[in-house]
Amino acid sequence: MSLSLSTHILPPAQLHVLILLPSLWQVIGVPTFVGEVCLLLGDSLTTSELGNCTKMTGRSFATFDTGINGVSAITGANALDIASIGIDEGLLTQNATLIAAAFGRVHDDAVVQNAVKADGIRADGSFGQHTGIIYNGNYGKD
């Protein structure tokens, strides 16, 4: 059985969005894969390989401070995806400060948002993304 990245790692709708916005693919898509693979490889990584892993994940997590070219704000699912990349890097490097900062980003963004055009979780359990477009169920899922 062969596995396809588009159907077994990323939901097709999310992959479609990341391909349409190359900057999001570079900031979220690739670093997500890199962080997960590097965590799986763990102690078998050479110093150089570990440095390459943290360069990719660190550059992604730094977008909370630097922003993403062509994206007005890092909110909703994008913020949670980038925070997850920071958590992976913190686990990989055993950096408790980075893990705490990444979880802080999750807690800052994962709050009930009831404004009409707000991104995030709504009181009724729905999810708004891209200036509050409502997704029932899970964002990026079939």
Query: Which tens digit of pLDDT belongs to each residue from 3-60?
Result: 333 334 555 555 555 455 557 788 898 999 999 999 999 999 999 999 999 999 999 9
63-66: which pairs have CB atoms within 8 A and are 24 or more residues apart? 63/27, 64/105
Rg (CA), the chain: 16
Mean pLDDT over 83-89 rounds to 97
Give the rounded distance of the alpha carbon of 136 from its chain centre: 20
CB 70 within 8 A of CB 42: no
Q: Measured between alpha carbons, how far is 10 from 58 in angstroms, rounded to an integer? A: 21
> Between 133 and 17, where is the model more confident?
133
Mean pLDDT over 50-76 rounds to 88
CA dihedral defined by 88, 93, 96, 101, rounded to 10 degrees?
-50
> Between 81 and 131, where is the model more confident?
81
The CA-CA-CA angle for residues 119, 65, 127, to 5°, reads 15
> Between 83 and 71, where is the model more confident?
83
- pTM confidence score: 0.76
